[in-house]
Structure 1
Amino acid sequence: MPASLKALCAQLGGAVTAYLLARSGLMPASLWTLAGAQAVSAAIIAALLRSARWWLPIHLAFLPLALLALRMELHPGWYLAAFLALAVIYWSSFRTQVPLYLSNRSTAAALAGLLPVGQPARLLDIGAGTGTVLRHVAALRPDCALTGVETAPGPWLLGRLLCRAPAISWRRADLFAHPWGDYDVIYAFLSPVPMAAVWRKAVQEMKAGALLVSNSFPVPEREPDIVVEVNDRRHTRLYCYRAPTAEAGK
Protein backbone atom coordinates (compact mmCIF):
# COMPACT_ATOMS: atom_id res chain seq x y z
CA MET A 1 0.00 0.00 0.00
CA PRO A 2 1.41 3.44 -0.88
CA ALA A 3 2.50 5.56 2.08
CA SER A 4 -0.06 8.27 1.25
CA LEU A 5 -2.90 5.73 1.26
CA LYS A 6 -1.69 4.30 4.58
CA ALA A 7 -1.72 7.81 6.05
CA LEU A 8 -5.27 8.44 4.80
CA CYS A 9 -6.50 5.10 6.19
CA ALA A 10 -4.85 5.82 9.54
CA GLN A 11 -6.45 9.27 9.85
CA LEU A 12 -9.89 8.03 8.82
CA GLY A 13 -9.60 5.00 11.06
CA GLY A 14 -8.59 7.23 13.96
CA ALA A 15 -11.63 9.45 13.38
CA VAL A 16 -14.00 6.47 13.32
CA THR A 17 -12.43 5.04 16.50
CA ALA A 18 -12.73 8.34 18.35
CA TYR A 19 -16.37 8.66 17.27
CA LEU A 20 -17.21 5.14 18.45
CA LEU A 21 -15.49 5.69 21.79
CA ALA A 22 -17.45 8.89 22.34
CA ARG A 23 -20.75 7.26 21.38
CA SER A 24 -20.09 4.33 23.71
CA GLY A 25 -19.70 6.63 26.72
CA LEU A 26 -16.21 5.33 27.49
CA MET A 27 -14.83 8.86 27.37
CA PRO A 28 -16.23 12.40 27.51
CA ALA A 29 -17.19 13.83 24.14
CA SER A 30 -15.18 17.03 24.49
CA LEU A 31 -13.30 18.44 21.52
CA TRP A 32 -9.79 17.88 22.86
CA THR A 33 -10.59 14.42 24.20
CA LEU A 34 -11.87 13.43 20.77
CA ALA A 35 -8.78 14.93 19.14
CA GLY A 36 -6.49 13.03 21.48
CA ALA A 37 -8.32 9.76 20.89
CA GLN A 38 -8.20 10.28 17.13
CA ALA A 39 -4.48 11.07 17.21
CA VAL A 40 -3.54 8.03 19.31
CA SER A 41 -5.79 5.73 17.28
CA ALA A 42 -4.36 7.02 13.99
CA ALA A 43 -0.81 6.39 15.21
CA ILE A 44 -1.71 2.86 16.32
CA ILE A 45 -3.38 2.09 12.98
CA ALA A 46 -0.35 3.49 11.13
CA ALA A 47 1.90 1.19 13.16
CA LEU A 48 -0.32 -1.80 12.37
CA LEU A 49 -0.10 -0.89 8.68
CA ARG A 50 3.69 -0.91 9.04
CA SER A 51 4.13 2.72 8.14
CA ALA A 52 7.63 4.15 8.48
CA ARG A 53 8.37 5.15 12.08
CA TRP A 54 8.57 8.84 11.27
CA TRP A 55 4.87 8.76 10.28
CA LEU A 56 3.82 8.02 13.89
CA PRO A 57 4.60 11.45 15.42
CA ILE A 58 2.96 13.05 12.36
CA HIS A 59 -0.28 11.18 13.09
CA LEU A 60 -0.07 12.04 16.78
CA ALA A 61 0.36 15.74 16.10
CA PHE A 62 -1.76 16.27 12.98
CA LEU A 63 -5.28 16.83 14.35
CA PRO A 64 -4.26 18.60 17.61
CA LEU A 65 -2.09 21.03 15.64
CA ALA A 66 -4.88 21.57 13.10
CA LEU A 67 -7.27 22.49 15.92
CA LEU A 68 -4.71 24.85 17.42
CA ALA A 69 -4.28 26.52 14.04
CA LEU A 70 -8.04 26.99 13.76
CA ARG A 71 -8.13 28.55 17.22
CA MET A 72 -5.40 30.99 16.20
CA GLU A 73 -7.45 32.10 13.16
CA LEU A 74 -4.41 32.21 10.89
CA HIS A 75 -4.72 33.81 7.47
CA PRO A 76 -5.12 31.14 4.73
CA GLY A 77 -1.95 32.42 3.09
CA TRP A 78 0.11 30.94 5.92
CA TYR A 79 -1.21 27.47 5.13
CA LEU A 80 -0.30 27.90 1.47
CA ALA A 81 3.17 29.16 2.40
CA ALA A 82 3.75 26.20 4.73
CA PHE A 83 2.61 23.76 2.04
CA LEU A 84 4.87 25.30 -0.59
CA ALA A 85 7.85 25.32 1.79
CA LEU A 86 7.38 21.65 2.62
CA ALA A 87 6.87 20.76 -1.05
CA VAL A 88 10.08 22.54 -2.06
CA ILE A 89 12.10 20.78 0.65
CA TYR A 90 10.61 17.28 0.63
CA TRP A 91 9.17 17.18 -2.91
CA SER A 92 8.43 13.48 -3.62
CA SER A 93 9.16 12.07 -0.14
CA PHE A 94 5.56 10.82 0.10
CA ARG A 95 6.31 8.56 -2.90
CA THR A 96 9.92 7.59 -2.28
CA GLN A 97 9.65 7.55 1.55
CA VAL A 98 13.08 9.15 1.68
CA PRO A 99 13.13 12.19 3.97
CA LEU A 100 15.87 14.83 3.99
CA TYR A 101 18.85 13.58 6.01
CA LEU A 102 22.04 15.61 6.41
CA SER A 103 25.36 13.87 7.06
CA ASN A 104 27.86 15.34 9.53
CA ARG A 105 31.59 16.04 9.20
CA SER A 106 32.59 12.83 10.99
CA THR A 107 30.62 10.75 8.50
CA ALA A 108 32.13 12.64 5.57
CA ALA A 109 35.61 12.02 6.96
CA ALA A 110 34.87 8.31 7.31
CA LEU A 111 33.57 8.24 3.74
CA ALA A 112 36.70 10.01 2.49
CA GLY A 113 38.72 7.29 4.20
CA LEU A 114 36.97 4.67 2.06
CA LEU A 115 38.12 6.26 -1.21
CA PRO A 116 41.12 4.63 -2.93
CA VAL A 117 44.39 5.92 -1.51
CA GLY A 118 47.00 7.49 -3.77
CA GLN A 119 44.82 7.71 -6.85
CA PRO A 120 41.89 9.88 -7.95
CA ALA A 121 38.46 8.32 -7.61
CA ARG A 122 34.91 9.10 -8.66
CA LEU A 123 32.27 9.42 -5.93
CA LEU A 124 28.51 9.70 -6.45
CA ASP A 125 26.20 10.88 -3.66
CA ILE A 126 22.64 9.75 -4.45
CA GLY A 127 20.08 11.90 -2.70
CA ALA A 128 22.76 14.47 -1.92
CA GLY A 129 20.54 16.92 -0.01
CA THR A 130 22.36 20.24 0.23
CA GLY A 131 25.76 18.75 -0.59
CA THR A 132 27.18 18.61 2.94
CA VAL A 133 29.02 15.34 2.34
CA LEU A 134 30.48 16.43 -0.98
CA ARG A 135 31.77 19.72 0.39
CA HIS A 136 33.58 18.03 3.29
CA VAL A 137 34.97 15.23 1.10
CA ALA A 138 36.16 17.77 -1.48
CA ALA A 139 38.17 19.52 1.21
CA LEU A 140 39.80 16.23 2.26
CA ARG A 141 40.26 14.72 -1.22
CA PRO A 142 40.51 17.52 -3.81
CA ASP A 143 42.01 15.02 -6.26
CA CYS A 144 38.71 13.12 -6.56
CA ALA A 145 35.77 13.83 -8.87
CA LEU A 146 32.55 14.17 -6.85
CA THR A 147 28.99 14.14 -8.16
CA GLY A 148 25.77 14.81 -6.27
CA VAL A 149 22.22 14.19 -7.48
CA GLU A 150 19.18 15.62 -5.72
CA THR A 151 15.58 15.85 -6.90
CA ALA A 152 13.94 18.17 -4.33
CA PRO A 153 14.22 21.75 -5.68
CA GLY A 154 14.91 23.46 -2.35
CA PRO A 155 17.91 21.39 -1.21
CA TRP A 156 19.16 21.20 -4.81
CA LEU A 157 19.16 25.00 -5.18
CA LEU A 158 20.92 25.48 -1.84
CA GLY A 159 23.46 22.83 -2.77
CA ARG A 160 24.11 24.53 -6.09
CA LEU A 161 24.88 27.76 -4.27
CA LEU A 162 27.14 26.08 -1.72
CA CYS A 163 28.96 23.45 -3.80
CA ARG A 164 31.49 25.74 -5.47
CA ALA A 165 34.50 23.42 -5.38
CA PRO A 166 35.83 22.63 -8.87
CA ALA A 167 35.78 18.91 -8.08
CA ILE A 168 32.01 18.85 -7.44
CA SER A 169 29.44 18.27 -10.18
CA TRP A 170 25.94 19.15 -8.90
CA ARG A 171 22.88 17.83 -10.75
CA ARG A 172 19.13 17.76 -10.28
CA ALA A 173 18.12 14.21 -11.12
CA ASP A 174 16.37 11.15 -9.78
CA LEU A 175 18.83 8.77 -8.14
CA PHE A 176 17.49 5.79 -10.11
CA ALA A 177 17.56 7.62 -13.45
CA HIS A 178 21.20 8.72 -13.14
CA PRO A 179 23.69 6.09 -14.43
CA TRP A 180 26.03 4.57 -11.83
CA GLY A 181 28.52 2.75 -14.04
CA ASP A 182 31.33 5.32 -13.99
CA TYR A 183 31.82 5.61 -10.23
CA ASP A 184 34.20 3.93 -7.80
CA VAL A 185 32.14 4.73 -4.68
CA ILE A 186 28.43 5.46 -4.33
CA TYR A 187 27.15 6.97 -1.09
CA ALA A 188 23.53 6.75 0.05
CA PHE A 189 21.76 8.18 3.11
CA LEU A 190 18.16 7.35 2.25
CA SER A 191 15.79 5.18 4.32
CA PRO A 192 15.13 1.44 4.69
CA VAL A 193 12.40 1.52 2.01
CA PRO A 194 14.44 1.90 -1.23
CA MET A 195 17.52 -0.11 -0.22
CA ALA A 196 16.49 -3.31 -2.02
CA ALA A 197 15.98 -1.32 -5.24
CA VAL A 198 19.29 0.49 -4.66
CA TRP A 199 21.13 -2.82 -4.47
CA ARG A 200 19.44 -4.13 -7.62
CA LYS A 201 20.59 -1.06 -9.53
CA ALA A 202 24.06 -1.38 -8.01
CA VAL A 203 24.35 -5.00 -9.20
CA GLN A 204 23.12 -4.09 -12.67
CA GLU A 205 25.18 -0.94 -13.24
CA MET A 206 28.17 -0.57 -10.90
CA LYS A 207 31.50 -1.76 -12.20
CA ALA A 208 33.05 -4.79 -10.52
CA GLY A 209 34.75 -3.94 -7.24
CA ALA A 210 33.06 -0.55 -6.87
CA LEU A 211 31.79 0.24 -3.38
CA LEU A 212 28.24 1.05 -2.30
CA VAL A 213 28.21 2.84 1.07
CA SER A 214 24.88 3.18 2.89
CA ASN A 215 24.61 5.42 5.93
CA SER A 216 22.54 3.74 8.71
CA PHE A 217 20.34 1.58 6.45
CA PRO A 218 21.70 -1.84 5.38
CA VAL A 219 20.71 -3.68 2.24
CA PRO A 220 18.06 -6.24 3.23
CA GLU A 221 19.06 -9.89 3.29
CA ARG A 222 22.70 -9.21 2.45
CA GLU A 223 25.68 -9.07 4.77
CA PRO A 224 27.89 -6.01 4.25
CA ASP A 225 31.51 -6.54 3.28
CA ILE A 226 32.60 -3.81 5.70
CA VAL A 227 30.87 -1.93 8.52
CA VAL A 228 32.48 1.36 9.54
CA GLU A 229 31.65 2.69 12.99
CA VAL A 230 31.67 6.50 12.94
CA ASN A 231 32.68 8.26 16.14
CA ASP A 232 29.79 10.74 16.33
CA ARG A 233 26.80 11.38 18.58
CA ARG A 234 24.50 9.30 16.41
CA HIS A 235 26.86 6.29 16.52
CA THR A 236 26.52 6.20 12.75
CA ARG A 237 27.28 3.01 10.88
CA LEU A 238 28.35 2.90 7.25
CA TYR A 239 27.36 -0.38 5.57
CA CYS A 240 29.70 -1.08 2.65
CA TYR A 241 29.04 -3.51 -0.20
CA ARG A 242 31.36 -4.44 -3.05
CA ALA A 243 29.66 -4.68 -6.42
CA PRO A 244 29.93 -8.28 -7.62
CA THR A 245 31.83 -9.32 -10.71
CA ALA A 246 29.87 -10.47 -13.73
CA GLU A 247 30.61 -14.11 -12.87
CA ALA A 248 29.53 -13.70 -9.24
CA GLY A 249 26.29 -11.98 -10.27
CA LYS A 250 25.21 -14.94 -12.45
Structure 2
Amino acid sequence: MPPALKALLAQFAGAAGAFVLARNGWLTGLWPLVGAQAGLAAAAALALRSARWWLPIHLAFLPLAVAALQLGIAPVWYLAAFVLLLLVYWTSFRTQVPLYLSNRRTAAAVAGLLPAGRLRLLDIGAGTGSLLRPLARARPEGRFTGVELAPAPWLIGRLLCAPLPNIDWQRADLFALPWADYDAVYAFLSPVPMPTVWAKAVAEMRPDSVLISNSFAVPGVQPESIADVGDRRGTQLYVYRLPGPPNAGR
Protein backbone atom coordinates (compact mmCIF):
# COMPACT_ATOMS: atom_id res chain seq x y z
CA MET A 1 0.00 0.00 0.00
CA PRO A 2 1.42 3.44 -0.86
CA PRO A 3 2.58 5.37 2.24
CA ALA A 4 0.26 8.30 1.47
CA LEU A 5 -2.76 5.98 1.38
CA LYS A 6 -1.69 4.42 4.68
CA ALA A 7 -1.50 7.90 6.19
CA LEU A 8 -4.96 8.80 4.92
CA LEU A 9 -6.47 5.57 6.28
CA ALA A 10 -4.78 6.13 9.65
CA GLN A 11 -6.26 9.63 9.91
CA PHE A 12 -9.72 8.33 9.00
CA ALA A 13 -9.36 5.55 11.57
CA GLY A 14 -8.38 8.09 14.23
CA ALA A 15 -11.37 10.29 13.35
CA ALA A 16 -13.74 7.32 13.44
CA GLY A 17 -12.42 6.25 16.82
CA ALA A 18 -12.76 9.76 18.25
CA PHE A 19 -16.33 9.94 16.89
CA VAL A 20 -17.24 6.69 18.66
CA LEU A 21 -15.75 7.97 21.93
CA ALA A 22 -17.71 11.22 21.66
CA ARG A 23 -20.93 9.48 20.61
CA ASN A 24 -20.86 7.27 23.70
CA GLY A 25 -20.00 10.14 26.03
CA TRP A 26 -16.65 8.67 27.02
CA LEU A 27 -14.81 11.84 26.05
CA THR A 28 -16.04 15.43 25.96
CA GLY A 29 -14.39 18.70 25.07
CA LEU A 30 -12.40 19.70 22.02
CA TRP A 31 -8.85 18.95 23.09
CA PRO A 32 -9.51 15.52 24.65
CA LEU A 33 -11.13 14.49 21.37
CA VAL A 34 -8.29 15.98 19.34
CA GLY A 35 -5.78 14.12 21.47
CA ALA A 36 -7.75 10.88 21.12
CA GLN A 37 -7.88 11.23 17.34
CA ALA A 38 -4.13 11.85 17.17
CA GLY A 39 -3.31 8.88 19.39
CA LEU A 40 -5.66 6.54 17.52
CA ALA A 41 -4.29 7.70 14.16
CA ALA A 42 -0.75 6.93 15.31
CA ALA A 43 -1.89 3.50 16.57
CA ALA A 44 -3.56 2.82 13.22
CA ALA A 45 -0.33 3.81 11.45
CA LEU A 46 1.55 1.28 13.58
CA ALA A 47 -1.00 -1.40 12.70
CA LEU A 48 -0.57 -0.55 9.00
CA ARG A 49 3.22 -0.88 9.40
CA SER A 50 3.92 2.67 8.35
CA ALA A 51 7.50 3.90 8.69
CA ARG A 52 8.28 5.08 12.23
CA TRP A 53 8.72 8.70 11.17
CA TRP A 54 5.00 8.83 10.32
CA LEU A 55 4.09 8.50 14.02
CA PRO A 56 5.02 12.05 15.12
CA ILE A 57 3.27 13.37 12.01
CA HIS A 58 0.02 11.64 13.00
CA LEU A 59 0.38 12.73 16.62
CA ALA A 60 0.89 16.36 15.63
CA PHE A 61 -1.30 16.76 12.55
CA LEU A 62 -4.77 17.42 14.01
CA PRO A 63 -3.57 19.25 17.17
CA LEU A 64 -1.56 21.66 15.01
CA ALA A 65 -4.42 22.07 12.54
CA VAL A 66 -6.89 22.93 15.33
CA ALA A 67 -4.41 25.28 16.99
CA ALA A 68 -3.80 27.04 13.66
CA LEU A 69 -7.55 27.48 13.11
CA GLN A 70 -7.87 29.10 16.53
CA LEU A 71 -5.15 31.60 15.64
CA GLY A 72 -7.28 33.03 12.85
CA ILE A 73 -4.51 32.95 10.23
CA ALA A 74 -5.68 34.07 6.78
CA PRO A 75 -6.18 31.13 4.36
CA VAL A 76 -3.74 32.62 1.84
CA TRP A 77 -0.85 31.84 4.18
CA TYR A 78 -1.77 28.17 4.23
CA LEU A 79 -1.83 28.18 0.44
CA ALA A 80 1.55 29.90 0.34
CA ALA A 81 3.04 27.35 2.74
CA PHE A 82 1.61 24.48 0.68
CA VAL A 83 3.03 25.88 -2.57
CA LEU A 84 6.44 26.42 -0.95
CA LEU A 85 6.56 22.87 0.40
CA LEU A 86 5.43 21.52 -2.97
CA LEU A 87 8.20 23.39 -4.79
CA VAL A 88 10.81 22.08 -2.36
CA TYR A 89 9.70 18.46 -1.91
CA TRP A 90 7.76 17.90 -5.17
CA THR A 91 7.33 14.10 -5.56
CA SER A 92 8.84 13.07 -2.21
CA PHE A 93 5.51 11.47 -1.23
CA ARG A 94 5.95 9.06 -4.17
CA THR A 95 9.70 8.51 -4.22
CA GLN A 96 10.12 8.69 -0.40
CA VAL A 97 13.31 10.66 -1.01
CA PRO A 98 13.38 13.87 1.06
CA LEU A 99 15.70 16.81 0.43
CA TYR A 100 19.12 16.04 1.88
CA LEU A 101 22.04 18.43 1.36
CA SER A 102 25.63 17.14 1.43
CA ASN A 103 28.00 19.21 3.56
CA ARG A 104 31.56 20.31 2.77
CA ARG A 105 33.14 17.53 4.81
CA THR A 106 31.22 15.01 2.72
CA ALA A 107 32.37 16.68 -0.50
CA ALA A 108 35.98 16.48 0.69
CA ALA A 109 35.56 12.80 1.60
CA VAL A 110 34.00 12.02 -1.79
CA ALA A 111 36.88 13.82 -3.53
CA GLY A 112 39.29 11.46 -1.79
CA LEU A 113 37.41 8.44 -3.17
CA LEU A 114 37.48 9.52 -6.80
CA PRO A 115 40.13 8.40 -9.32
CA ALA A 116 42.82 10.82 -10.46
CA GLY A 117 42.73 12.50 -13.85
CA ARG A 118 39.71 13.35 -15.93
CA LEU A 119 36.51 11.88 -14.62
CA ARG A 120 32.76 12.12 -15.03
CA LEU A 121 30.55 12.07 -11.94
CA LEU A 122 26.76 12.02 -11.71
CA ASP A 123 24.91 13.21 -8.61
CA ILE A 124 21.38 11.78 -8.61
CA GLY A 125 18.96 13.88 -6.57
CA ALA A 126 21.53 16.67 -6.43
CA GLY A 127 19.49 19.13 -4.34
CA THR A 128 21.05 22.56 -4.70
CA GLY A 129 24.42 21.28 -5.92
CA SER A 130 26.07 21.40 -2.50
CA LEU A 131 28.26 18.39 -3.36
CA LEU A 132 29.03 19.26 -6.97
CA ARG A 133 30.22 22.84 -6.48
CA PRO A 134 33.22 22.09 -4.22
CA LEU A 135 34.09 19.03 -6.34
CA ALA A 136 33.97 21.08 -9.56
CA ARG A 137 36.25 23.72 -8.05
CA ALA A 138 38.71 21.13 -6.75
CA ARG A 139 38.73 19.09 -9.96
CA PRO A 140 38.41 21.56 -12.86
CA GLU A 141 39.46 18.84 -15.31
CA GLY A 142 36.42 16.73 -14.37
CA ARG A 143 32.87 16.85 -15.66
CA PHE A 144 30.08 16.86 -13.07
CA THR A 145 26.40 16.31 -13.78
CA GLY A 146 23.61 16.95 -11.30
CA VAL A 147 19.96 15.97 -11.72
CA GLU A 148 17.20 17.36 -9.52
CA LEU A 149 13.44 17.22 -10.08
CA ALA A 150 12.03 19.49 -7.36
CA PRO A 151 11.64 23.00 -8.84
CA ALA A 152 12.92 25.11 -5.95
CA PRO A 153 16.18 23.21 -5.26
CA TRP A 154 16.76 22.86 -9.00
CA LEU A 155 16.42 26.63 -9.55
CA ILE A 156 18.72 27.45 -6.61
CA GLY A 157 21.24 24.92 -7.88
CA ARG A 158 21.09 26.31 -11.39
CA LEU A 159 21.90 29.80 -10.14
CA LEU A 160 24.70 28.66 -7.82
CA CYS A 161 26.28 26.28 -10.35
CA ALA A 162 26.10 28.68 -13.31
CA PRO A 163 29.62 30.15 -12.76
CA LEU A 164 31.19 26.68 -12.93
CA PRO A 165 31.52 25.56 -16.57
CA ASN A 166 32.30 21.93 -15.70
CA ILE A 167 28.89 21.37 -14.05
CA ASP A 168 26.00 20.17 -16.20
CA TRP A 169 22.86 20.98 -14.20
CA GLN A 170 19.65 19.26 -15.32
CA ARG A 171 16.06 19.05 -14.14
CA ALA A 172 15.16 15.39 -14.41
CA ASP A 173 14.10 12.32 -12.46
CA LEU A 174 17.02 10.67 -10.70
CA PHE A 175 16.66 7.54 -12.86
CA ALA A 176 16.11 9.39 -16.15
CA LEU A 177 19.71 9.64 -17.39
CA PRO A 178 21.74 6.64 -18.55
CA TRP A 179 24.68 5.95 -16.22
CA ALA A 180 27.01 4.22 -18.68
CA ASP A 181 29.15 7.31 -19.36
CA TYR A 182 30.08 8.03 -15.73
CA ASP A 183 33.07 6.93 -13.69
CA ALA A 184 31.16 7.52 -10.45
CA VAL A 185 27.56 7.97 -9.37
CA TYR A 186 26.78 9.65 -6.03
CA ALA A 187 23.48 9.15 -4.20
CA PHE A 188 22.14 10.73 -1.01
CA LEU A 189 18.56 9.47 -1.08
CA SER A 190 16.84 7.20 1.47
CA PRO A 191 16.69 3.45 2.14
CA VAL A 192 13.63 3.01 -0.11
CA PRO A 193 15.12 3.45 -3.62
CA MET A 194 18.50 1.79 -2.93
CA PRO A 195 17.61 -1.62 -4.45
CA THR A 196 16.49 0.17 -7.64
CA VAL A 197 19.65 2.31 -7.62
CA TRP A 198 21.81 -0.81 -7.40
CA ALA A 199 19.87 -2.60 -10.15
CA LYS A 200 20.38 0.37 -12.49
CA ALA A 201 24.05 0.62 -11.57
CA VAL A 202 24.67 -3.06 -12.32
CA ALA A 203 22.73 -2.85 -15.58
CA GLU A 204 24.32 0.34 -16.92
CA MET A 205 27.60 1.33 -15.25
CA ARG A 206 30.96 0.27 -16.66
CA PRO A 207 33.17 -2.28 -14.86
CA ASP A 208 35.41 -0.68 -12.22
CA SER A 209 33.23 2.43 -11.95
CA VAL A 210 31.93 3.26 -8.46
CA LEU A 211 28.61 3.94 -6.80
CA ILE A 212 28.94 6.08 -3.67
CA SER A 213 25.93 6.18 -1.35
CA ASN A 214 25.74 8.67 1.49
CA SER A 215 24.32 7.08 4.68
CA PHE A 216 22.17 4.40 3.04
CA ALA A 217 23.59 0.99 2.19
CA VAL A 218 22.39 -1.26 -0.63
CA PRO A 219 20.48 -4.10 1.06
CA GLY A 220 22.23 -7.44 0.76
CA VAL A 221 25.30 -6.08 -1.07
CA GLN A 222 28.71 -5.84 0.62
CA PRO A 223 30.40 -2.48 -0.09
CA GLU A 224 34.01 -2.41 -1.16
CA SER A 225 34.67 0.08 1.63
CA ILE A 226 32.90 2.37 4.10
CA ALA A 227 34.37 5.83 4.60
CA ASP A 228 33.71 7.84 7.77
CA VAL A 229 33.25 11.52 6.95
CA GLY A 230 33.91 12.70 10.50
CA ASP A 231 31.14 15.28 10.67
CA ARG A 232 28.73 15.86 13.55
CA ARG A 233 26.03 13.58 12.17
CA GLY A 234 28.44 10.66 11.80
CA THR A 235 28.04 10.41 8.02
CA GLN A 236 29.27 7.25 6.34
CA LEU A 237 29.89 6.76 2.62
CA TYR A 238 29.25 3.29 1.20
CA VAL A 239 31.48 2.61 -1.80
CA TYR A 240 30.47 -0.07 -4.31
CA ARG A 241 32.78 -0.95 -7.20
CA LEU A 242 30.96 -2.32 -10.20
CA PRO A 243 32.14 -5.80 -11.23
CA GLY A 244 33.12 -6.81 -14.74
CA PRO A 245 31.19 -9.39 -16.78
CA PRO A 246 30.93 -12.84 -15.13
CA ASN A 247 33.31 -14.42 -17.67
CA ALA A 248 35.88 -11.60 -17.73
CA GLY A 249 39.46 -12.85 -17.75
CA ARG A 250 38.63 -16.47 -18.74
TM-score bucket (shorter structure): over 0.9
Matching residue of 2:10:
10
Matching residue of 1:239:
238
Residues 84-131 of structure 1, C-alpha deviations (whole Å, 9 max, x = no match)? 1111000001110111011111111111111102x1111100000010
Q: Which amino acid aligns with 1:108?
A: A
Q: Which amino acid aligns with 1:114?
A: L
User: How does the TM-score come out when normalised to structure 1?
Assistant: 0.93
Distance in 1 (CA, whole Å) between partners of 2:247 and 2:188 is 26
Residues 159-199 of structure 1, C-alpha deviations (whole Å, 9 max, x = no match)? 00001211111000111111111111101010111111111
User: How does the TM-score come out when normalised to structure 2?
Assistant: 0.93
Alignment of 1:162-177 (within 5 A): 162-163=160-161, 164-177=163-176
Taking a change above 3 Å as real, the CA distance of residues 197 and 46 of structure 1, as seen in their structure-2 partners, is: same
Distance in 2 (CA, whole Å) between partners of 1:22 and 1:121 is 65
- Quote the RMSD (CA, aligned, Å): 1.7
Q: Which amino acid aligns with 2:222?
A: E
Matching residue of 1:197:
196
Corresponding position: 1:154 with 2:135: no
Alignment of 1:216-227 (within 5 A): 216-227=215-226
Structure 1 unmatched ranges of 5 or more: none
Corresponding position: 1:48 with 2:71: no
Number of residue pairs the alignment of both structures matches: 247
Residue 246 of structure 2 aligns to a residue whose secondary structure is: helix
1:106 touches 1:230 (CA, 8 Å); kept in 2? yes
Distance in 2 (CA, whole Å) between partners of 1:41 and 1:140 is 53
Percent identity reads 62
Distance in 2 (CA, whole Å) between partners of 1:203 and 1:15 is 46
Structure 2 unmatched ranges of 5 or more: none
Q: Which amino acid aligns with 2:47?
A: L
Matching residue of 1:138:
136
Residue 131 of structure 2 aligns to a residue whose secondary structure is: helix
Query: Which is worse superposed, 211-220 or 13-22?
Result: 13-22
